[in-house]
Amino acid sequence: MTAQLYTNARLIDPEARTDSLGALLVRDGRIVASGPEVAVPEDAEPIDCGGKCLAPGIVDIGVKVCEPGERHKESYRSAGLAAAAGGVTTMVTRPDTVPTIDSPETLEFVTRRANEAAPVNVLPMAALTKGREGREMTEIGFLMDAGAVAFTDCDHIVQNTKVFSRALTYARSLGALVIAHPQEPGLSAGACVTSGKFASLRGLPAVSPMAERMGLDRDIALLEMTGARYHADQITTARALPALERARKNGLDITAGVSIHHLTLNELDVADYRTFFKVKPPLRSEDDRLAVIDAVRTGLIDIISSMHTPQDEESKRLPFEEAASGAVALETLLPAAMRLYHADHLDLPALFAALSLNPARRLGLDCGRLAPGAPADLVLFDPDVPFVLDRATLQSKSRNTPFDGQRMQGRVLATYVAGSPVYRRA
Return phi, psi of residue 368, to 5°: 80, 10
Return phi, psi of residue 67, to 5°: -105, 135
Specify whether the CB–CB gap between 126 and 99 falls below 8 A: no
Residues with Cβ within 8 Å of 102's Cβ and at least 6 positions away in sequence, in order, are 95, 126, 127, 129, 130, 131, 132, 138
Residue-level pLDDT at 1: 56
Sign of CA dihedral 207, 210, 213, 214: negative
Helices (H) and strands (E) in the chain, counts: 14, 18
Nearest to 268 by CA among 402, 387, 67: 402
| Average pLDDT per block of 10 residues along the chain, 426 residues long | 90 96 95 88 90 98 94 96 98 97 96 95 98 96 97 96 97 98 94 92 93 98 98 98 97 98 96 93 97 98 98 94 96 98 98 98 97 97 97 95 96 97 93
Nearest to 182 by CA among 235, 229, 146: 235
Specify whether the CB–CB gap between 233 and 152 falls below 8 A: yes
Specify whether the CB–CB gap between 102 and 136 falls below 8 A: no
Nearest to 11 by CA among 46, 42, 37, 43: 37
Specify whether the CB–CB gap between 370 and 348 falls below 8 A: no
Q: Could you tell me where the DSSP H helices lie in 311-400?
A: 313-316, 333-342, 348-352, 358-362
Longest dimension (CA), the chain: 68
**Cα separation, 206 vs 204, whole angstroms:** 6
DSSP 137: B
- Quote helix, strand, coil % in the chain, to nearest 5: 35, 25, 40
Residue-level pLDDT at 171: 97
Specify whether the CB–CB gap between 252 and 298 falls below 8 A: no
Sign of CA dihedral 179, 30, 113, 75: positive
Residue-level pLDDT at 43: 86
Residue 178, classified by CB atoms within 10 Å of its CB into exposed (0-12), middle (13-18) or buried (19+), is buried
**Cα separation, 403 vs 390, whole angstroms:** 8
Q: At what angle do helices 241-249 and 210-226 cross, to 10 degrees?
A: 20
**Cα separation, 56 vs 378, whole angstroms:** 5
**Cα separation, 270 vs 286, whole angstroms:** 13
DSSP 284: -
3-state secondary structure of 353: helix
3-state secondary structure of 54: strand
Specify whether the CB–CB gap between 372 and 296 falls below 8 A: no
- Rounded CA Rg of the chain: 21
Q: Could you tell me where the DSSP H helices lie in 139-228?
A: 140-145, 161-174, 185-188, 197-202, 210-226
**Cα separation, 101 vs 106, whole angstroms:** 6
Q: What is the pTM of this model?
A: 0.95
Give the total residue count for the chain: 426
Residues with Cβ within 8 Å of 310's Cβ and at least 6 positions away in sequence, in order, are 64, 66, 73, 74, 79, 326, 328, 396, 397, 398, 400
Residue-level pLDDT at 137: 96
Residue-level pLDDT at 25: 96
